[in-house]
Amino acid sequence: MCGRYAAAADLTELVERFSVVEVTGEPPPPRWNIAPTDPVSVVTARRDEPGRALRVVRWGLVPSWSKGPGEKRAPLINARAETVTEKPSFRKAFAARRCIVPMDGYYEWRGATEAGKQVRQPWFLHRRDGAGAATAGIYEWWRDDSLPSDHPQAWLPSCAILTTEATDDIGHLHDRMPVLLEPEHWTDWLTAEPTDAELLLRQRTEAMSGLLTAHPVSRRVNKVGREGADLVEAIDPA
């Protein structure tokens, strides 16, 4: 978890749901097959003023000290909640730049047999109550020193989703799951001191049992680039 997800809420819905007062960049349209390095919308605290901002960032965190997105390494799309305060790639972002990643749900894959052949069967995991998920994330800024600071591409914002050990009810699909935040946790996650945010993480990892459910979906989602609301619709597992 999680290597692909769906986020179909439009700008109006996101602004209303998260009480956003500032929008930075042009949010991407509703998507049902978001893949690593795609632009995504995240909710952050505003830097010097109260309220929340909606920002467009790259999914796959690029550490500020790295050589940039062109490095030959797998995108850092997920960060383990258990070690996020220790890993060099994540600890500074956790301390100062936490965010919320809105999503409708995410995909996991299990092996299945069809006509005597092994196939990768995708499943869509989403909140049991039908509400959109608000997942804990961190974001970072990478500076391209080859460009002047006022160049529109001089700064690259990027994010990672925090994951934890999956609860028993969905652990048969994958051993990891995103950290889910309830509305009463949003302000603390975005603005609390690092030690308090770490405590909130531990509390959330112990309180998410039963929040998610899953159903098999079309294997059309297996190919990056395919889109459409039908990708999250349940299919007959037979």
pTM equals 0.95
> Would you say 40 and 29 are in contact if contact means Cβ atoms under 8 Å apart?
no
Written as six digits, the tokens of 230 are 């039908």
The lowest-confidence range among 68-72, 136-140, 230-234 is 68-72
139 beta partners: 159
Q: What's the pLDDT score for residue 127?
A: 97
Mean pLDDT for the stretch of residues 41-53 = 95
42, 139 Cβ separation under 8 angstroms: yes
237 found inside a domain? no
pLDDT value of residue 71: 77
- How many CB atoms neighbour CB 88 within 10 A? 8
Q: Considering its fold, how many domains does the chain have in total? A: 1
- Residue 224 in contact with residue 33, Cβ under 8 Å? yes
Report whether pLDDT(115) > 90: no
Cβ distance 39 to 7 under 8 Å? no
Structure tokens that stand for 232 in this block? 């999250």
CA dist 215 → 103, 191, 218 (Å): 16, 35, 10
Q: What is the pLDDT of residues 51-67, one digit of tens each?
A: 999 999 999 999 999 98
* Residue 238 placed within a domain: no
Q: Give domain status of residue 105, yes or no.
A: yes
- pLDDT-based confidence at residue 134 (cuts at 50, 70, 90): very high
For the stretch 146-202, pLDDT in tens is 888 888 888 999 999 999 999 999 999 999 999 999 999 999 999 999 999 999 999
The pLDDT, as a whole number, for residue 118 is 85
User: Is 126 part of any domain?
Assistant: yes
Task: Give the pLDDT confidence of 192-223 residue by residue, as tens digits.
Answer: 999 999 999 999 988 899 999 999 999 999 99
Question: Residue 128: phi, psi to the nearest 5?
Answer: -65, -30
The tokens describing 166, both together, are 């999956």
Compute the distance between CA of residue 139 and CA of residue 97 in angstroms, rounded to an integer.
6
Report helix, strand or coil for 71.
Answer: coil
Q: What is the pLDDT of residue 238?
A: 62
Q: What number of other Cβ atoms are within 10 A of residue 23's Cβ? A: 15
Give yes or no for residue 106 having a pLDDT over 70: yes
CATH classification of the domain holding 32: 3.90.1680.10
For 7-35, what is each residue's pLDDT tens digit? 999 999 999 999 999 999 899 999 999 99
Q: Which residue has tokens 């991407």? A: 28
Residue type, 151: H
CA distance 10 to 150: 29
Range of the domain at 206: 5-232
How far is the C-alpha of 41 from the C-alpha of 56, rounded, in Å?
Answer: 5
Q: Give the pLDDT score at 122.
A: 96
* Residue 1: predicted pLDDT: 60
| Residue 73 pLDDT exceeds 90 | no
Which of the 8 DSSP states describes residue 221?
G
Q: Is 174 exposed, middle or buried (0-12, 13-18, 19+ CB in 10 A)?
A: buried
